[in-house]
Structure 1
Amino acid sequence: MAKFGELISSDIPVLIDFYVEWEEENSDDFHSVLRDVAAALGDKAKVIKIDIEKNEVLANALRIKGNPTFIIYKDGEMKWRQSGTQDANTLINLVQQYV
């Protein structure tokens, strides 16, 4: 969890996708959505994926129930959170609010 604290304390927005690997395998479209988001934001933000099953302690601490769950952090503070799929433009616009 110490590494997570360092990760979210960034002064640029950090978009985190909490996912389950076995569901992601069935959805190539979603990989392209996150690639598009990362490409559009460049170095203005970080886009990170965290596997819920491999990080159960963190997922439980954050009460991650839905899959996927997206959270935007900036300066260590949660700015936005939502469960369910999102399109690239929505995610890009949300993150840009915190750039």
Structure 2
Amino acid sequence: MKLVVVTIFLFSGLFFFCIGTIGLFRFKDVFTRAHSAAKCDTLGAVLSLLALIIYNGVSFVSFKLILVVVFLWITNPTATHLITRAEFNRRK
């Protein structure tokens, strides 16, 4: 059962990484590309790391991975916002 849940999380993460990559290639505007990359990259990484946490069980490594997930949740949207804001100000 544990392996099934890990597989579902890993393939879900891979799915979102692939969708984000397709969005980077297909969208023409910087802002839509950034939106696609930020949302899909964050969700794909979080799902993949959650799969690793479930696979590893309760340990100190799982705690470190949870810290990485929290760090990603904070930094990815913030970095994307700053990059798009800089592009918006550059175009003014």
TM-score by length of 1: 0.30
Tell me: higher relative CO, structure 1 or 2? Use CA pairs within 8 A at least 6 residues apart: 1
TM-score norm. by structure 2 comes to: 0.31
Structure having the higher strand fraction is: 1
Between structure 1 and structure 2, the one with the greater Rg is 2
More helix, by proportion: 2
